[in-house]
Structure 1
């Protein structure tokens, strides 16, 4: 898995790329929480649930269904999130889905159960450049530093480039759309 900090990169990038005020602070917070929440399944280790179990690490909480459920919760909370129902559901679902997609690009683990409950097969991306993050007790180590550098290269830098490119395109777009 990428570190918990890197899972927050996608909602932050979407917020940076959007027009000022388009994504409220509350909606951004919900998106960041949704992007990080799937890793709460590490509690399964303390409950002696095997890693490969449907409710183990990278199992059900890393599925399309889980992202959709979080989107429905956001839809219900949309007035509090200061967003339309569609915007809240789409943003939170996309942020939650970014988590298993990033995990699928990592160099370790058992893959992600993206299609749970329809399939318990664990999937990886065909290309896996992101170093898998060590758990908390080993994060501040040489391996943890290598993980951070890998995440900067393969997640943060591409997202920054996309946001910068989007902002440049938006800045150069003509503002007067009136036709003769």
Structure 2
């Protein structure tokens, strides 16, 4: 898995690329939480649920169904997120789905159960350049630094380049450039 900080990169990049004020702060916060939430399944280790189990790490919480459930919840809470129901569902759904997709590009683990409950198969991307992150207790060592550098190279820099490119091609409307 990428680090929890890197999972936040996708909703943050979408927010940076959007016109100012288009994604409200509560919606951004929901997207960041949704992008990180699938890794709450590491609690399965404390409950002695095997990694390869459907409810183990990278299991059900890394599925399309989980992303759809969070998107539905966001749609129901759209007023609190200061967004339309469609905007809330799309932003939270994409943010949640970004998590297993990033995990699929990592160099280790058992893959992600993207199609759970329809299939228990764990999937990896055909190309896996992102170093898998060590767990929290083992993060502050050479392997953790290597992971951060890998994420910088394969996630953060491409996203920053994409956002800057998007902003150059689609400048902010004149009304928002003149706003205080």
TM-score, reference length from structure 1: 0.95
The within-5 A match list for 1:57-72 is 57-72=57-72
Mind listing any 5+ residue stretches in structure 1 that lack a counterpart?
Answer: 176-180
> Matched residues in 2 for 1:61 and 1:143: separation?
26
**C-alpha RMSD of matched pairs (Å):** 1.4
The match for 1:38 is: 38
The match for 2:122 is: 122
1:171: how far off? 2.2
> Matched residues in 2 for 1:123 and 1:172: separation?
39
1:172: how far off? 9.1
Mind listing any 5+ residue stretches in structure 2 that lack a counterpart?
Answer: 176-180
The runs of 4+ residues in structure 1 deviating greater than 2 Å are 171-175
Deviations 1:79-122 (A, max 9, x none): 00000000000000000000000000000000000000000000
1:123: how far off? 0.1
> Matched residues in 1 for 2:172 and 2:29: separation?
30
Instruction: Answer whether contact 2:130 2:154 (CA < 8 A) is retained.
Output: yes
The within-5 A match list for 1:149-164 is 149-164=149-164
1:51: how far off? 0.1
Deviations 1:61-89 (A, max 9, x none): 00000000000000010000000000000
Task: From the superposition, tell whether residues 59 and 172 of structure 1 become closer, same or farther in structure 2 (CA, over 3 Å).
Answer: closer
TM-score, reference length from structure 2: 0.95
Note if 1:54 corresponds to 2:51.
Answer: no
